[in-house]
Amino acid sequence: MNNIKADNLVIGKNTIIESNAVIRGLNGNAKQIFIGDNCYIGENVQIICDDFEIGDYSKIQHHTNIHGYLPCKIGHNAWIGQYTIIDSIGGMTIGNNCGVGAHSQLWSHIKYGDMLEGCRFLSEKPMEIGNDVWFVGHCIVSPIKAADKSMAMVGSVVTKDMNFNEIYAGSPAKSLSDKIGFQFQEVSIEDKFLKMQEYLSEFKHFTSIKIVKNSQEINFEDNFTYFDVSSRKYKKISSEEEINFMKFLLPAKGKFIPF
């Protein structure tokens, strides 16, 4: 793997990294690179960061650029669209189950103007993206905090923090949730359980998969994969059936992270 250079490198099972993707540090080897199981990193992706991490079942599509001095941490089930820029110069944290649509740009710094000449704009600030956040596509985002389940519609220019479960649009982006509602609506545990049972029936192959309503129903010693609809977590055994079912659920039927 001449295209990957790191002092401490972990690449999970069944992960595919295209041969012309480049993963390295800013000046040679990265200090540490961690890529989870069942991930995909596409053609001509560049990850130039000394400390990079991305969780299981995540996809980084072609020609995406991720760079920066500070750590870039991305959770499980991420979907990063093609030609996206993710800047970690000020630090970047992206939670689980997040989507960043094609041609989006997430910036954690502003720097170019001549300070000696009196330019007032120079800053590096961490960007903190919560769980289940969705930037639909062609979004430009400055270093903000995006609360869980917040969403920015296509073409949004986001300059201020995004509130829990609110939907934003425009330039500069403003909340539209008082007019169009929220990204997520409340779903009961019973309804989630029944829906997962439907998915399992549709999947057809489920000799080692069980759906439960809470973690107390899980036997962590046996050889079954349990999906707990209350916590949105699953007992990971990495069986072929489990992997195929997870791929069947993603990207939109349901998202789970391992216990």
Select from 17, 22, 18 the least CA-distant residue to 37: 17
Secondary structure letter of residue 207 according to DSSP: T
Residues 168 and 241 in one domain: no
Largest distance between two CA atoms of the chain: 69
Output the CA angle 133-136-139, nearest 5 degrees: 100
Span 157-209, pLDDT tens digits: 999 999 999 999 999 999 999 999 999 999 999 999 999 999 999 998 789 99
Select from 229, 227, 251 the least CA-distant residue to 237: 227
Residues 68 and 174 in one domain: yes
Please state the domain count of the chain: 2
Secondary structure letter of residue 244 according to DSSP: H
Residues 94 and 155 in one domain: yes
Secondary structure letter of residue 3 according to DSSP: T
Q: What is the per-residue pLDDT for 2?
A: 82
Q: 140 Cβ partners below 8 Å, 6+ apart?
A: 104, 105, 107, 156, 157, 158
Domain that holds residue 174: 6-180
As a whole number, mean pLDDT of residues 223-238 equals 98
Q: What is the per-residue pLDDT for 206?
A: 81
Pairing type for strands 173-175 and 167-170 reads antiparallel
Q: Is the pLDDT of residue 1 over 80?
A: no
Residues 46 and 120 in one domain: yes
Residues 166 and 201 in one domain: no
Secondary structure letter of residue 90 according to DSSP: S
1 is a domain residue:
no
Q: Which of residues 163, 180, 197 is at a domain's end?
A: 180
Select from 125, 185, 112, 119 the least CA-distant residue to 160: 125
Q: Omega before 251 cis (within 30°)?
A: yes
How far apart CA 46 and CA 99 sit, in angstroms, is 18
- CATH of residue 68's domain is 2.160.10.10
Span 92-131, pLDDT tens digits: 999 999 999 999 999 999 999 999 999 999 999 999 999 9
Q: Which of residues 138, 161, 180 is at a domain's end?
A: 180
Residues 137 and 167 in one domain: yes
How far apart CA 129 and CA 131 sit, in angstroms, is 7
Percentage of residues in the chain having pLDDT higher than 70: 100
H/E run at residue 200: helix 189-203
Residues 27 and 116 in one domain: yes
Tokens of 188: 């009961």
